[in-house]
Structure 1
C-alpha cells in the first residue's frame, strides 16, 4: 500500500471518528445511542425474478440467489462480477478485472442480463451492457431454464438488476472511495417526497481509475433519475431512466501468452502489469441510456395489474491493438489491430395480471401475462496486422498505425412476443407451481443482399412442487425448459430450430422460521441435471454446413447460506460442484470436454462481526476465502488445438470498518496475499490475469 493511500485512509478514519451520530429507531435490541442497525436487509426474503410475483423465496421451486444492497455495501462490491464471489452456481471475473463488461457463467452457460425484469439491450457477442452496480438495490440470479417467464434464454439461467426506487421518506447517502491503482469515486443517492403523492430519487456516480495493467485509464459517469406518482389511491406510475458514459484509454483487455503467464517461459515471468497494446491508440467509448416506467394498479380484490416498459439504446466504439502470437524466441510478440463498433436499440414491454382465487381449500395465485421485445442491432469490425513488440521490454509508438477499414458484421432485427400463464396452487403446506408460455420470434437479417426473415415458435414450461414445513424447511422438486433461436440453415435449406434446454432440480430451502426475530437466515441446497439439445455442430456429410445434433450436459450440486444474527454476525457461504461437458458433437475431441469458463468446484465463505457495545462499539471486521478449481479456457476444435486449464486459486479478502451514527468508514481488501493467477486462457496468446490485490477505503455519510 503506497504512502499516499495510507494518508488518505487515515484522514477518512479520523473524519469518521469525529463525526456526529444518532440512533435509529426500530432496532431489534437495545444498543448504544451512537450505533445504528447497519444491515437490516442483509438476508433476502423475497424476489420477483423467480415467479414475476411477490412470492417468498422459499416458495419458488427453483434455485434463486439474491445479493442485497446491504451485502453489496458491506463487502464493497464494485461490479456484478465481484458481487457473485460468495454466491453458489455462478462464477464471475472469467476474463479478470474487465473494466467494460461483467463476464459470468451460470451452470456452465453465459447468462443474459435483465434490468427491472426486462432484457437489457445486449449485443450479438456480449450478454450484458456493463451497467454500474451502484444504481441498483439488488442482484438476483435465477439458475436453470427460465424461458417460461422470460422467453429466449440460455439454459443456465439469467440475472436481474433491480433499480433503486423513490421513497416517501427523505434519505440517501453521499460516498467517496479511494484505492490502489489510483481508484477514485464519488457517488450518491437522494430520495424523498416532492409533494403529496409524488416521490423522486436521483442516483449518480463518477469514477476515475487506473488498472493493474500499465498505462490504462478509465472514467465513468452514471446518472439514474426516478419519479413515482400516485395517479390514484390504487395506481402508481414509476418512471425509471439511466445514462452511462464510459471512456477507457490504453487497454488491451488482456491477451497475454500462455508461456510466462500459465506456464514457464524460458526468458522469464511475464509481469502482471505488462501492456502489449498501444496506450496512445487503444480506446473504448460507450454510451448507453434508457427511459421507461412501471405501472401498478391494485384492483383491491386480491388482483393487481403491472406493466413494465423501457426504450434502451447502447452504442460502443473501440479500437484495440493486442497480442496475437509469440515468436520462437519466446519474447517477440506479433500483434493485430481490431476496431469494432456496435449499436443497439430496443423496446421492451411486459404486462401481467395477478389474482388470488380459491377453489374449495385450494388457493390459486394466478399470473397471466404477455411481453413483447423489438430489438435492432448492427455491428462492424476491421482486422489488420500491427507492429511486433517485446514481451518483457515493450516499446510503444514504433511505426505508423493505420486503422483497418470496418466491414459490416451483423445487421439484424429480432421481434419476440410471448404469452405466459402461471398458477401457484397452495393446499395446507403444499405449493404446486404450474407455468406455461408460448413464444413467437421473428429474426430478420439485413446483412445479405436481400433481407431474410426466419420465424421460430416455441412452447416452454415449468412444473414444481414444494412442501413448506412450520419449521421453515421446504423441500422441492421441479422440471423446467428453455430455448434460444439459432440463426442459419442446414444442407437441406431448412432454417434451424431453436436450441432447447431442460432441467430436473431437487433441493431444500430454509428460512429460519421460528427463530428469534433478530436471527435472519436463508439457506438452500440443490442438485440438478441440465441438458442443452439442438446445438449446432458440423455436418459430417458436408463440412460447409452444420447440423443440430450437438448436446451439452451439466450435473451439479449447490449449497448456499446467508445469515445475519443480532445485527452483529453475518455469514455468506457457498459451495458449487458442476460437471459441465459436451456430450454430443461432430468435432473431434469435443465429446467429454468441459464447457469453457466453468470450474468444477467453487467454495467461498465470508464472516463479518460488528461490535455493538463496550470500548469497540461501532467497529466491525470480517474476512473471507474463495476457492476456484481449474477450468478450461476453450473447447477443442479446428482452431483450438490445445485447451489450457487455468490453475486452482485460493484468495483471501477482508474488511475493517467503523460505524458511528450516520457515518461509516471502511477499508476493504481483496486478494490480500496478491496471488498471481489467470482468470482464463483461451489460446496460446489468450491469457487474462485475475484481479491483483485491491484495497479501497470508503467514507459514507447517510441521511
Structure 2
C-alpha cells in the first residue's frame, strides 16, 4: 500500500504541476533532448551518436572532427560533456549500435571491455562490470543486482531485460564503479544508463531493414512528430528473427533461435518553457525454442568409476550425437522454451523552478518468464521436466532536484521501490534417473525415481527507500570536490515451499525410513520455510578533480558503498531431521570500499582523446554460492564469501585526424579474485566421493571412488567470468562518392574485440576454463547524409569457434556442456531517415 501511494502521489504531483504555466510559452528541449542534440558520439568508445559528427564516425570520445562535437552525457543527472565528468564512463551512440549489430547487452560487451555478460537463458543472466555485480552460476530472486540498468531514468530490477533488443536507442552510457549517490537504486559495480530517442516537434521518420544468413531478419522503425503546438508523439518498433545455431537431432529442429519483438510509444507535453511531461509505454516479447547446450567434454570426478559419465552412458547404451561441440549438434530430449515478456508505463516530469530542476519519475513494470529446460543436458530421460515460470511486478517513484548556484552544483533525490515476485517451479525425473543418480541395487530399478516430482511455490516481496545526494563544489576554477551520501532502507519478505511426490503418488517426507523414500528425498527434498530481512545502510563517496589544462582533467574517488542483503529463495540446507537451517536463509549485505584515480585528456586539436583509469574495489561478505561444512550439510546455497577484490587499469583512446578517418582502442586489465573464501563449493574434479571425516585428507583431483572435502578453500583464485585482459578496437574510413545521382560517401568499417581466458564455474575448475578469443566484424557501404545508408556486414568474419559459457551439470558425473558463440554471420542493411 505504501509503495502504491508513493507511485500515485508522484504521478499526481507531476500532472498537477503542469497547468500552472501558460500553455502558449515557447517549448524548450528536455534534458534528454538537449543531450541528444549536442552529443553525437561516444565517450570512451568512440561511438557515433546522433548529431553533429560527420557521417560515418563509428565511435569514441568526441571523435574530434570539429570543435563542436563534444559528447554530452547525463551520468551525473545533468547535461555535461563526457570529458568533464570525473567518472570512468563509456558511451556508445545509437548509430554505432545500429551499424555494428550490437542490438542487445550481450553484443554491447564487445564494445566495452570491462562489461561482462553471461546468459544460459534470460533468467540465468549475469551482467557484471569489472568482474562484480551478481553471483555467477546461481539465480536467486532474493538478492539484488550490482549493475543497475536504467532506461530513461527508470530502474529495471530484472537483469533478464538485458537480453532484449535495444529499442530506438539514442545513447548508452556504461558507468564503472559505485553510483549509489547519483541513482535511485544502489549500484555497487556500476550502471548502464540507456537513453531512447524522444518525441520531436519536427516530423521525422526512420526505418531499417536487415537480412542475412541463418534466416536473419530484422526490422526497425520509428515515427515522431507534433500532435499540437505543445504535444509531440513518438512510436518505435523492432523485430528480430534468426534461425537457431544448434541443431537438435531429437526434434529435428534448430534451437537457440532469436524471436524478438518490441514496441515503444511516447507522448511529450510541453505546456510552457519551464515544464515538460512525458508518458512512455513499452512492450517486448521473446518466444524462441531455447536454450540448449552441446556436449563439450568429460573429466574425472571422485565418484566411483562405475558412476561417472562414460560408464553410465555405456550402461544405458547412450552415445552423444557429437563429441565436437562446434558441430553444433545436440540430442536433448526435454521440451525447450524461453518465453519472456516485459513491459511497463513511465510518467516523467521536469519542472524548472528557478534555482534548479525538479524531476519526478513514476513507473510500473512487469516481467513474465515462461521457461522449459532440459536440466540433464543429455538425450536420456533423466530429468524430463524442469521449469520455473515467474511473474514479476515493480513500482518505482523517484523525486530528484538538481541545480547550480555559483560554484555549487547539486543533486538530491528520494527513491521508493516495491517489487513482487511469484515463481511456480516444477522438476520431474524420468525412467533413466535411477541409473544416473542412485547407487547400489536401487540404481537398477527405474521405478524408484521415475515420476519423482517437486513442485515449488516461491514468493518475494521487496521494498526499499533511499535518500541520496551529491554536491559538486568548485573550490577554484581548476579544483573541484564532490561529496555524496546515501541513506537506504531495505525490507525483503520471502517464502519457499517445495512439495515432493514420487511416481506412486506418495508424499516424500523426512519422517519415512523406507529405503526408496530415503533415496528419493536425496534427489528431490521437500522443504518449507519463511524468511524476512530488513536493514538500514549508509554509504558515501568523495571525488576530487583538478583541471591542469582546458583539455586535461585528473580525478580521484573513494566510495564506501554496499549491496543490500537478501534472502535465499532456492532452498537452504537442512539438518539431519530435514528441518531447514534458517541461519542460512538470510544473506548479509556486501560492504564495498572503492578507490579510483583517472586522467581525461584531449589533444591534437581535440581530434584525439586518451582516458586512463586505475581502480580497486574491496568487498567484504561477497554474496556467492557456498557449501558450508560447519552446518553439517553439502547443499550449495547463497551466502557470503569473506572477501573479494577487483583491481586494474583501463585505457580508452580515439582519434579522428580527418573527417575521412577515425579509430579507437579501449583496453582493460582486471585482476579479480577471492581474497578469502574458505567454504566454497569444490570443483567437479574434487567432488562426488565419500565426504572426508575430520582429520582425513581428501584424495587428489579426479580420483574415482576418492575422498572429497566438505568444502574447498579457493582463496586467491580468480572470480568467474573475468578475463584478465580485454580490449575493443576499430576504425572507419570514407571517401566522397556518388550513387544513383546522390552525393555521399563510400565507407569501410571494422570493429574487433579480444579477451583472455576466464573461468566459467563459480569455483575455478580445470574442466571449465574458457580459452581466450578474438572476434572481428566488418562493414562496407554507401551513405548520403543521414537520409540513406546501405551496407553489407559480416560478424565473426574469420569464423572463430568459441564458447560464451561452460556449465557443470549437477550430479558430479564429470559431464561438461557449453554454449557456443555465434558462428560467422553476414548480411546487408538498408537505413532511411526522413
Answer whether TM exceeds 0.5 for this pair.
yes
* Structure 2 CA distance for partners of 1:565 and 1:409, relative to 1, 3 Å: farther
Q: Which runs of 5+ in 2 are unaligned?
A: 1-39, 41-52, 62-69, 134-146, 248-253, 300-319, 434-449, 498-527, 569-580, 680-711, 809-814
| Structure 2 residue 400 is the aligned partner of structure 1 residue 352 | yes
* 3-state SS of paired residue (2:759): coil
Report if the CA contact (8 A) 1:414-1:443 is conserved: yes
| Structure 2 residue 493 is the aligned partner of structure 1 residue 444 | yes
* Structure 2 CA distance for partners of 1:481 and 1:253, relative to 1, 3 Å: farther
Q: What is the alpha-carbon distance in structure 1 between the residues aligned to residue 466 and residue 54 of structure 2?
A: 44
Report if the CA contact (8 A) 2:122-2:338 is conserved: no
* 3-state SS of paired residue (2:816): coil
Report if the CA contact (8 A) 1:188-1:205 is conserved: yes
Report if the CA contact (8 A) 1:190-1:201 is conserved: yes
| Structure 2 residue 295 is the aligned partner of structure 1 residue 256 | yes
Alignment of 1:4-83 (within 5 A): 37-39=54-56, 42-43=59-60, 45=70, 50-83=75-108
Measured after TM superposition, the shift of residue 387 of structure 1 is: 7.5
Per the alignment, residue 10 of structure 1 pairs with none
Alignment of 1:541-556 (within 5 A): 541-543=630-632, 548=640, 550-556=642-648
Per the alignment, residue 464 of structure 1 pairs with 543
Q: What is the alpha-carbon distance in structure 2 between the residues aligned to residue 633 and residue 336 of structure 1?
A: 26
Measured after TM superposition, the shift of residue 547 of structure 1 is: 7.1
* Structure 2 CA distance for partners of 1:656 and 1:101, relative to 1, 3 Å: farther
Per the alignment, residue 579 of structure 1 pairs with 671
| Structure 2 residue 746 is the aligned partner of structure 1 residue 619 | yes
> Could you say which structure has the larger radius of gyration?
2
1:274 to 313, 329, 344: 329
Report if the CA contact (8 A) 2:408-2:471 is conserved: yes
Per the alignment, residue 485 of structure 1 pairs with 564
* 3-state SS of paired residue (1:598): coil
Deviation by residue 1:195-252 (Cα, 9 ceiling, x = unmatched): 1011111100122221212212442221100111012221100111211121112x23
| Structure 2 residue 128 is the aligned partner of structure 1 residue 109 | no
The aligned length equals 630
Measured after TM superposition, the shift of residue 46 of structure 1 is: 5.1
Q: What is the alpha-carbon distance in structure 2 between the residues aligned to residue 681 and residue 625 of structure 1?
A: 23
Per the alignment, residue 200 of structure 2 pairs with 167
Q: What is the alpha-carbon distance in structure 2 between the residues aligned to residue 479 and residue 491 of structure 1?
A: 36
Per the alignment, residue 226 of structure 1 pairs with 266
Deviation by residue 1:82-124 (Cα, 9 ceiling, x = unmatched): 12312231134x358x7888753311123342222332141xx
Structure 1 range deviating more: 647-656 or 152-161? 152-161
Measured after TM superposition, the shift of residue 562 of structure 1 is: 3.9
* Structure 2 CA distance for partners of 1:546 and 1:106, relative to 1, 3 Å: closer
Q: What is the alpha-carbon distance in structure 2 between the residues aligned to residue 178 and residue 387 of structure 1?
A: 44
Alignment of 1:497-646 (within 5 A): 497-512=588-603, 515=605, 519=607, 521-535=608-622, 541-543=630-632, 548=640, 550-564=642-656, 566-587=658-679, 588-612=712-736, 618-636=745-763, 642-646=766-770
Measured after TM superposition, the shift of residue 459 of structure 1 is: 0.7
Report if the CA contact (8 A) 1:146-1:481 is conserved: no
Measured after TM superposition, the shift of residue 419 of structure 1 is: 0.4
Per the alignment, residue 5 of structure 1 pairs with none
Per the alignment, residue 663 of structure 1 pairs with 788
* 3-state SS of paired residue (2:107): helix
Q: What is the alpha-carbon distance in structure 1 between the residues aligned to residue 732 and residue 239 of structure 2?
A: 29
1:381 to 414, 422, 425: 425
Per the alignment, residue 146 of structure 1 pairs with 179
| Structure 2 residue 330 is the aligned partner of structure 1 residue 243 | no
Measured after TM superposition, the shift of residue 458 of structure 1 is: 0.6
Q: What is the alpha-carbon distance in structure 2 between the residues aligned to residue 412 and residue 421 of structure 1?
A: 29
Q: What is the alpha-carbon distance in structure 1 between the residues aligned to residue 403 and residue 298 of structure 2?
A: 61
Structure 1 range deviating more: 475-484 or 147-156? 147-156
Q: What is the alpha-carbon distance in structure 1 between the residues aligned to residue 488 and residue 747 of structure 2?
A: 50
Measured after TM superposition, the shift of residue 678 of structure 1 is: 1.4
* Structure 2 CA distance for partners of 1:91 and 1:445, relative to 1, 3 Å: closer
2:412 to 348, 368, 379: 368
Report if the CA contact (8 A) 2:198-2:234 is conserved: yes
Measured after TM superposition, the shift of residue 405 of structure 1 is: 6.0
Report if the CA contact (8 A) 1:177-1:696 is conserved: yes
RMSD of aligned residue pairs (Cα, Å): 3.3
When normalised by structure 1's length, the TM-score is 0.82
1:317 to 370, 383, 397: 370
When normalised by structure 2's length, the TM-score is 0.70
Q: What is the alpha-carbon distance in structure 2 between the residues aligned to residue 375 and residue 470 of structure 1?
A: 47
Which has a greater percent of strand? Answer: 1
* 3-state SS of paired residue (2:181): helix
* Structure 2 CA distance for partners of 1:642 and 1:211, relative to 1, 3 Å: same
Q: Which runs of 5+ in 1 are unaligned?
A: 1-26, 28-35, 327-331, 390-401
